């Protein structure tokens, strides 16, 4: 019994170590100046300093800025589109509802690389100059289905006659949506926004194919280009550590929110 | 019903979903201040009628008038009506107070007025201490009280209630029924109430509208509906009853269960087939013969609290349900009496299945979308009217043995046999008398027996 418990615990720790050691290594080696990853030349905050003021910082921060602004904008638009679509799908009946839900699920299962290439071909075919706008459009298109997926359960939890009850009490359809439907699905909308934001920040394949050749870089394409040029720039190590911490913070926030919601029920 | 003070009129209302008729030419007048109940089994169209009045759906045909004005184009949020839904439909993101104030706030009512009216509404439903509570933390009964307050606070002309008590337990339901009735009397506004519970309808209503399959069967006071049902469906649906085949010999005299009885009904003709309804509490049961009309043997006796429910096999071979305060022994010889005013005679809706078909050859007639082997003398291609007695329709367990198949749709026990309504696969209805026991929903094969009893005549072209 005791041995069994020990092995169960050891197994868990082994898994956690496997999962987190690569990140830990990056984080640890962000506090040393060595050019080559794996050499420890003593504790130093030099790389962090370079990150914020060195020669690399300009182009790097431009990439971070692009990543964040595309993330926020695509999350905003896909949340808007996705939430409205979810309300629409929810009000469909029978076959139609099944069909649309199925169509909504396909893009999520589609490999990124195929989504990226298809979008690239589409933009070329339509003749749009590729750059910031095409990346944004691409991100909105692959984030929207996730927002629908996130809002849908909240709509289903709603009492069936809720919308009619609002109309009955004198609300116009618009007021019913704003004052009754939206407050009830808000947790789903917020989760959808956060999900869309992280998906956008995380994306590499789709961005690579839609960013064009006007010099637009997001964090992921910047790092990829940098690594191809001749090894990873040491300053990327503190950058990744910071990104990891930000994502961790976001994740904690989401978990905190959802646990608060379940406690309320 | 048509008076000057009708607040709502439904004129020739029909509604179809996917080609299925849910409401079939409904005409209904509702007087100002009345408590009207739409009563019927599920699928009878009662909730659809309510939703039409509320404005959530539009009729395919007909007009809905409010104070004499057609409200077809008026959206639900502009109708001076409020609804209490079966599953309450409260807004969980608002507390009790804000739920009730929702309608008033939309109308830009001054804050102090909102406050006054919300408190008054809370007081009326005895929920004054709950205004800050989360609606999810309330019990079902409390939630329904909030839903009623939320509707009434807007001072609607008409309150629509869609089975509001169906989700509550029996005791709570009975309390709420009394409270609703009190509220109705105090407020004087019109209530339109939907339920499938006949007891609830009898308790609450000024007027009951009995519906079945999209048609109104009967409109009347609870007393009328109970004492004088217009047909066997209403009699069977409202309360317990003995529904029996009878013959109306002449005015004031009717024969059923093999005996002749004096009755108070007139005008059904002479020797005409009728349905007879006798309520179980209207059959007097005695241990001595003097003054009684017929006799029988006790088959079972079940104690029901206030009364005993006794099944008696009469000597003529009919089964009757009787209620009496005294218990009887199984096997005991008993004597019964029915008073003339307790016998309700109803015109039979039909006495046989009347079908139309075409002669195919000497031994076959095309009927109900299939070829039935029925012998006749008419030439092939002649359109014919075929009259098939209820007892000539045979139902079979094995679907393949029937010419067509169908489903048992409705069952009525007539004392010594069952009268079934069978819905064929094509949606036609056949009526069958049988001694076999079937359940509602059973799938059956259908064929005709007793060729001699089937009457065929040439169909006259009515153009």
SS (H, E, C) chain A: CHHHHHHHHHHHHHHHHHHHHHHHHHHHHCCECCCCCCCCCCECCHHHHHHHHCCCHHHHHHHHHHHHHHHHHHHHHHHHHHHHHHHHHHCCCHHHHHHHHHHHHHHHHCCHHHHHHHHHHHHHHHCCCCCHHHHHHHHHHHHHHHHHHHHHHHHHHCCCCHHHHHHHCCCCHHHHHHHHHHHHHHHHHHHHHHHHHHHHHHCCHHHHHHCCCCCCCCHHHHHHHHHHHHCCCCCHHHHHHHHHHHHHHHHHHHHHHHHHHHHHC
Which residues face B419 on adjacent strands? B412, B433
CB contact under 8 A, A167 and B107: no
CB contact under 8 A, A172 and B77: yes
Best to test chain B binding among A96, A161, A169 (most B CBs inside 10 Å): A169
Nearest CA-CA distance, residue B51 and chain A, Å: 10
Cα nearest neighbour of B103 on chain A? A169
Residue A127, CA distances (Å) to A116, A130, B32 in order: 16, 9, 68
Which of A7-21, A251-265, B106-120, B220-234 bottoms out in mean pLDDT, i.e. has the lowest?
A251-265
**What pLDDT sits at residue B461?**
62
Calculate helix-pair angle for A236-264, A2-29, nearest 10 degrees.
130
Q: What CA–CA distance (Å, rounded) separates B105 from B92?
A: 17
Within this chain, domains B6-232 and B233-347 share the same CATH topology? no
| Size of the A and B interface in Cβ pairs below 8 Å | 68
Best to test chain B binding among A91, A170, A175, A265 (most B CBs inside 10 Å): A170
Q: Match 């170590």 to its residue by tokens.
A: A17
Average pLDDT value over all residues in chain B: 90
Q: Residue A14 falls within a domain, yes or no?
A: no
Q: Residue A47 falls within a domain, yes or no?
A: no
Cβ-nearest to A170 among B54, B77, B86: B77
The count of domains in chain A is 1
pTM of the model as a whole: 0.78
**What pLDDT sits at residue A261?**
63
Q: What is the fold, at CATH topology level, of the domain defined by B353-458?
A: OB fold (Dihydrolipoamide Acetyltransferase, E2P) (2.40.50)
Which of A89-98, A169-178, B90-99, B279-288 bottoms out in mean pLDDT, i.e. has the lowest?
A89-98
pLDDT surpasses 60 at A264: no
**What pLDDT sits at residue A262?**
61
Nearest CA-CA distance, residue A258 and chain B, Å: 16
pLDDT surpasses 50 at B284: yes
pLDDT surpasses 50 at B2: no
CB contact under 8 A, A170 and B154: yes
What are the structure tokens assigned to A233, written together? 């720039």
Provide, rounded to the nearest whole percent, the portion of chain A with pLDDT above 90: 46
Return the number of other C-beta atoms located less than 10 Å from residue A26's C-beta.
Answer: 18
Q: Residue A123 falls within a domain, yes or no?
A: yes
Cβ-nearest to A184 among B56, B85, B92: B92
Please state the separation of Cα A213 from the chain's center in Å: 24
pLDDT surpasses 50 at B1: no
Cα nearest neighbour of B155 on chain A? A169
Q: Residue A148 falls within a domain, yes or no?
A: yes
CB contact under 8 A, B89 and A172: no
Nearest CA-CA distance, residue B147 and chain A, Å: 10
Which of A93-97, B55-59, B318-322 bottoms out in mean pLDDT, i.e. has the lowest?
A93-97
Nearest CA-CA distance, residue B108 and chain A, Å: 11
For residue B461, how many C-alpha atoms fall within 13 Å in the half-sphere facing its CB?
Answer: 2
Stretch B84-98: mean pLDDT, rounded? 91
CB contact under 8 A, A167 and B76: yes
> Can you give the C-alpha Rg of chain B in angstroms?
27
Residue B117, CA distances (Å) to B84, B110, B138 in order: 18, 11, 21
Q: Please name the residues in contact with B108: beta carbons below 8 A apart, sequence gap of 6 or more.
A: none
Length of chain A: 265
- Interval B402-436: pLDDT, tens: 889 999 988 888 888 899 999 888 888 889 999 88
B17 touches chain A (CB under 8 A): no
Best to test chain A binding among B106, B154, B159, B194 (most A CBs inside 10 Å): B106
CATH superfamily entry for domain B6-232: P-loop containing nucleotide triphosphate hydrolases (3.40.50.300)
- In 3-state terms, what secondary structure has residue B240? coil
pLDDT surpasses 70 at A234: yes
Which of A230-234, B36-40, B146-150, B316-320 bottoms out in mean pLDDT, i.e. has the lowest?
A230-234
CATH superfamily entry for domain B233-347: Nucleic acid-binding proteins (2.40.50.140)
Cα nearest neighbour of B81 on chain A? A168
Provide, rounded to the nearest whole percent, the portion of chain B with pLDDT above 90: 59
Q: Which residues does A contribute to its contact with B (CB < 8 Å)?
A: 159-162, 164-172, 175, 179-180, 183-184, 186, 265
Q: Residue A255 falls within a domain, yes or no?
A: no
Q: Measuring CA to CA, which residue among B48, B49, B40, B15 is closest to residue B211?
A: B40
Q: Residue A24 falls within a domain, yes or no?
A: no
Stretch A52-80: mean pLDDT, rounded? 89
Which residues of chain B have a CB within 8 Å of the CB of A171? Answer: 77, 102, 106
pLDDT surpasses 80 at B395: yes
- Interval B351-380: pLDDT, tens: 888 888 888 887 888 888 888 888 888 888
B211 touches chain A (CB under 8 A): no
Best to test chain B binding among A164, A166, A168 (most B CBs inside 10 Å): A168
CATH number at residue A68: 1.10.3720.10
The ranges assigned to domains in chain B are: 6-232, 233-347, 353-458
Q: Measuring CA to CA, which residue among B8, B4, B330 is closest to residue B159?
A: B8
**What pLDDT sits at residue B20?**
84
CB contact under 8 A, A161 and B87: yes
Q: Residue A22 falls within a domain, yes or no?
A: no
Cα nearest neighbour of B92 on chain A? A184
- Long-range pairs, B225-230, Cβ under 8 A, ≥24: B226/B202, B226/B279, B227/B344, B228/B344, B229/B277, B229/B344, B229/B346, B230/B346
pLDDT band at A57 (very low <50, low <70, confident <90, very high): confident
Q: Are B28 and B9 in contact (CB under 8 A)?
A: yes
Residues 105-124 of B with CB under 8 A from A: 106-107
CB contact under 8 A, B103 and A169: yes
B47 touches chain A (CB under 8 A): no
CB contact under 8 A, A168 and B54: yes
Which residues face B412 on adjacent strands? B419
Residues 57-86 of B with CB under 8 A from A: 75-78, 81-83, 85-86
Q: Which ipTM was obtained for this model?
A: 0.76
Q: Residue A49 falls within a domain, yes or no?
A: no
């Amino acid at each position: 019994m005791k041995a069994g418990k020990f092995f169960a615990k050891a197994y868990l720790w082994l898994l956690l170590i496997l999962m987190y050691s690569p990140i830990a290594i990056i984080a640890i080696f962000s506090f040393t100046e060595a050019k080559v990853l794996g050499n420890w030349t003593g504790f130093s905050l030099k790389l962090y300093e370079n990150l914020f003021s060195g020669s690399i910082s300009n182009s790097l921060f431009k990439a971070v800025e692009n990543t964040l602004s595309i993330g926020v904008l695509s999350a905003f638009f896909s949340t808007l589109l996705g939430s409205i679509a979810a309300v629409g799908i929810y009000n469909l009946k029978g076959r139609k509802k099944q069909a649309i839900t199925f169509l909504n699920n396909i893009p999520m299962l589609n490999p990124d690389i195929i989504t990226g290439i298809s979008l690239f071909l589409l933009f070329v075919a339509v003749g749009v100059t590729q750059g910031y706008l095409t990346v944004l459009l691409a991100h909105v298109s692959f984030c929207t289905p996730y927002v629908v997926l996130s809002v849908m359960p909240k709509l289903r939890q709603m009492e069936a006659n809720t919308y009619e009850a609002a109309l009955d009490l004198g609300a116009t359809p618009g007021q019913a949506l704003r004052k009754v439907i939206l407050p009830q699905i808000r947790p789903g909308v917020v989760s959808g926004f956060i999900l869309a934001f992280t998906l956008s920040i995380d994306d590499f394949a789709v961005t690579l194919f839609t960013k064009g050749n006007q010099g637009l870089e997001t964090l992921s394409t910047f790092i990829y280009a940098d690594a191809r040029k001749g090894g990873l720039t040491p300053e990327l190590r503190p950058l990744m550590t910071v990104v990891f911490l930000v994502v961790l913070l976001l994740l904690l926030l989401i978990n905190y929110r959802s646990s608060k919601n379940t406690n309320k029920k | 019903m048509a008076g000057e003070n009708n607040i709502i009129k439904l004129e020739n209302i029909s509604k179809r979903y996917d080609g299925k008729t849910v409401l079939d030419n409904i005409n209904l007048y509702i007087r100002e201040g009345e408590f009207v109940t739409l009563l019927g089994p599920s699928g009878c169209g009662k909730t659809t009628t309510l939703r039409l009045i509320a404005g959530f759906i539009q009729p395919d045909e007909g007009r809905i008038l409010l104070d004499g004005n057609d409200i077809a184009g008026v959206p639900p949020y502009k109708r001076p009506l409020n609804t209490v839904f079966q599953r309450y439909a409260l807004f969980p993101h608002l507390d009790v107070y804000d739920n009730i104030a929702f309608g008033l706030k939309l109308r830009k009512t001054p804050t102090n007025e909102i406050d006054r009216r919300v408190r008054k509404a809370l007081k009326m439903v005895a929920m004054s201490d709950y205004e800050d509570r989360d609606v999810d933390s309330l019990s079902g009964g409390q939630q329904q009280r909030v839903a009623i307050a939320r509707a009434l606070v807007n001072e609607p002309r008409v309150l629509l209630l869609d089975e509001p008590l169906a989700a509550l337990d029996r005791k709570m339901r009975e309390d709420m029924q009394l409270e609703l009735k009190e509220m109705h009397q105090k407020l004087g506004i019109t209530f339109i109430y939907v339920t499938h519970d006949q007891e609830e309808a009898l308790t609450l209503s000024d007027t009951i509208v009995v519906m079945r399959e999209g048609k109104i069967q009967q409109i009347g006071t609870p007393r009328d509906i109970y004492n004088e049902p217009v047909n066997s469906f209403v009699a069977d649906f409202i309360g317990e009853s003995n529904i029996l085949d009878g013959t109306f010999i002449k005015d004031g005299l009717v024969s059923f269960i093999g005996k002749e009885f004096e009755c108070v009904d007139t005008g059904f003709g002479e020797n005409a087939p009728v349905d007879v309804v006798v309520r179980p509490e209207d059959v007097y049961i005695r241990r001595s013969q003097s003054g009684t009309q017929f006799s029988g043997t006790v088959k079972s006796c079940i104690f029901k609290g206030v009364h005993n429910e006794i099944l008696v096999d009469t000597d003529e071979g009919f089964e009757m349900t009787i209620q009496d305060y005294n218990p009887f022994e199984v096997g005991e010889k008993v004597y019964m009496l029915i008073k003339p005013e307790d016998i309700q005679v109803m015109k039979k809706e039909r006495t046989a299945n009347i079908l139309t078909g075409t002669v195919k050859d000497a031994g076959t007639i095309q009927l109900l979308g299939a070829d039935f082997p029925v012998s006749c003398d008419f030439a092939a291609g002649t359109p014919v009217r075929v009259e098939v007695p209820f007892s000539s329709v045979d139902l079979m367990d094995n679907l393949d043995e029937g010419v067509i198949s169908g489903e048992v749709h409705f069952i009525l026990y007539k004392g010594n046999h069952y009268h079934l309504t069978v819905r064929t696969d094509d949606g036609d209805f056949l009526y069958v008398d049988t001694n076999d026991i079937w359940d509602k929903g059973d799938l059956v094969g259908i064929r005709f027996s007793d060729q001699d009893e089937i009457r065929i005549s040439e169909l006259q072209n009515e153009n």
